[in-house]
Structure 1
Amino acid sequence: MSTTNPYDKAYELARALQNSDEVKGLQKAWQKASQHPDHRRILEQYRQIAGEVQTIQMQGQKPRQEMMDELNRLMDEIRSEPQLLHYMEAEVRVGQLMTDMMRILGEPLQDVHKHRVVD
């Protein structure tokens, strides 16, 4: 009887992810969007501020209004540019794929805790 090596399967999964339509679509969308310096700047600023907002929220704090206003302004710019919007939509699809994969990968641990005996 052979056992499955989770690391081998993880590398196999990484290769499958790299070859997925979602990741390929994200790569193409980034190549198009990042060709314009202004587009790249907008995306980088959005990503930076969105990350800061998320960090602040995870610490149980409320982001400053100026920060939220800037995030909304950048999102408006993204929505007004088809290439940027296409990139953000591709990023959302990859994010959903990753969320689904993490849920699936977490199922064995949920089963462990579900069947745990309480003393």
Structure 2
Amino acid sequence: MSNVYDKAHELKRTIAESEEFQTLKSLHVEIQADEVATRMLNNFRQLQLELQQKQMQGIQITEEEAQNAQQQFELVQQHELISKLMEAEQRLSVIIGDVNKIITEPLEEIYGTPGQ
């Protein structure tokens, strides 16, 4: 069984050493050094969290809230560092999603894929 954990730790190191992770880490450092970018990103993430919590509680998001979120998204996308960070996050998210799919394949052999 320890071999599985050894491989998991090896995968963790591989991800941490990957170009995608290193780019993300570097962009985080740059944003933390930029007070405006940090504030913009924190405000945007807080808004996202609030809307997600409402959805999880079954509370309908108003049209005004949706428009505000869209405006905030467009605003942060205009900031070059934040835009690069979001792109880097997306690239790493795709990799992690792909890895998750690969490591759950043995379970799919037993249980099938969701929706089957």
TM-score range, shorter chain: 0.7 to 0.9
CA contact (8 A) 1:49 1:67 kept: no
Write the distance in 2 (CA, Å) between the matches of 1:23 and 1:11.
Answer: 16
Aligned residue in 2 for 1:49: 47
Write the distance in 2 (CA, Å) between the matches of 1:12 and 1:38.
Answer: 37
Report percent identity of matched pairs. 29
Aligned residue in 1 for 2:102: 104
What SS is found at the alignment partner of 1:62? coil
| Larger Rg belongs to | 1
Write the distance in 1 (CA, Å) between the matches of 2:49 and 2:100.
Answer: 20
Unaligned runs of 5+ in 1: 115-119
What TM-score, normalized by structure 1, do the two folds share?
Answer: 0.80
- Across the aligned residues of Structure 1 and Structure 2, the Cα RMSD in angstroms comes to 2.0
1:6: Cα distance to partner? 1.1
- Structure 1 segments (4+ residues) deviating >4 Å: 58-61
CA contact (8 A) 1:23 1:94 kept: yes
What per-residue deviation string (whole Å, max 9, x for no partner) do you get for residues 30-76 of structure 1? 11222111211111222222233334435555323343233222211
